[in-house]
């Protein structure tokens, strides 16, 4: 009996099959699908972290958008280690925060990319194996490829625009800091700010957001 089983296994292996009923060809097809699922899951995790970091950082500025903002910083009288943004409407030079639409667009794209990534993972899981949808009953799942490519292209272009706004907008903000009395964004995140008590660590958080979104 053992010899018959061995002969059967040898015969099936010679024909590209296995004793489990799955051909080697099918098994090889599963590997890239599993790799794609892991890649999408990793990207979703990165985007979700970026969305959280960006949301927290926006709250540090009391809801104001720092992207492409023109700021005026002065030292608080009597406090050498405390600074404030000049926001008096009657001041000759005052802080003009960036458009809320820029920050809202970046936040929206982070959330939209996260949701789209989860959707792709779901499609990969459903259509894995021999390509049959099974209980869902959608024939010819390969028809999902063209619209998936279209939406992926749109999401990619929008995410590139969002990453550009995030990177260049904060670079503009830091340039304004550098021309003031503080000197750099790195130094600005370690000092006290009047009316903005939660700005500690804002620049490090931005760098984390940028790293998660752009990599």
Question: What pLDDT digit, counting tens, does each position of 135-177 carry?
Answer: 455 566 677 778 888 888 998 899 889 889 999 999 999 999 9
Q: Mean per-residue pLDDT for 64-82? A: 88
Q: Is the pLDDT of residue 29 over 70?
A: no
How distant is the alpha carbon of residue 26 from its chain centre? 33
Q: Which residues of 131-161 are buried (b: 16+ CB within 10 A; e: fewer)?
A: eeeeeeeeeeeeeeeeeeeeeeeebeeebee
| Residue % of the chain over a pLDDT of 90 | 26
Of the pLDDT bands very low, low, confident and very high (cuts 50, 70, 90), residue 23 is very low
Q: Which of 28-37, 63-72, 105-114, 143-152 shows the lowest per-residue confidence on average (mean pLDDT)?
A: 28-37
Of the pLDDT bands very low, low, confident and very high (cuts 50, 70, 90), residue 12 is very low
Report the C-alpha gap between 5 and 9 in whole angstroms.
6
Q: Residue 56: what pLDDT?
A: 87
Q: Mean per-residue pLDDT for 178-183? A: 88
- Tell me the average pLDDT of the chain: 76
Residue 91's CB: how many other CB atoms inside 10 A?
11
Among 53, 44, 40, 59, which Cα is nearest to 166's?
53
Burial of 51 (0-12, 13-18, 19+ CB in 10 A): buried
Q: How confident is the model over 80-136, as pLDDT tens digits?
A: 789 999 888 777 788 999 999 999 998 898 888 888 888 887 877 776 555 444 445
């Amino acid at each position: 009996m053992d010899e018959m089983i061995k002969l059967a296994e040898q015969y099936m292996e010679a024909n590209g099959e296995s004793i489990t009923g799955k051909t080697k060809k099918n098994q090889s097809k599963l590997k890239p699908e599993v790799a794609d699922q892991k890649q999408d899951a990793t990207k979703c995790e990165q985007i979700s972290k970026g969305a959280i970091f960006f949301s927290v950082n926006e709250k540090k500025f009391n809801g104001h958008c720092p992207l492409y903002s023109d700021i005026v910083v002065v030292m608080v009288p009597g406090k050498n280690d405390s600074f404030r943004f000049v926001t008096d409407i009657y001041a000759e030079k005052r802080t003009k925060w960036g458009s809320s639409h820029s920050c809202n667009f970046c936040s929206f794209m982070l959330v939209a990319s996260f949701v789209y990534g989860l959707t792709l993972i779901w499609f990969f899981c459903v259509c894995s194996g021999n390509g049959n949808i099974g209980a869902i009953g959608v024939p010819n799942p390969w028809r999902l490829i063209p619209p998936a490519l279209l939406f992926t292209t749109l999401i990619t272009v929008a995410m590139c625009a969002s990453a550009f706004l995030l990177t260049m907008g904060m670079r503009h903000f830091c340039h304004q800091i550098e021309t003031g009395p503080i000197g750099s964004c790195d130094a600005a995140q370690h000092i006290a700010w009047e009316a903005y008590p939660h700005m500690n660590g804002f620049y490090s958080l931005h760098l984390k957001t940028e790293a998660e979104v752009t990599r």
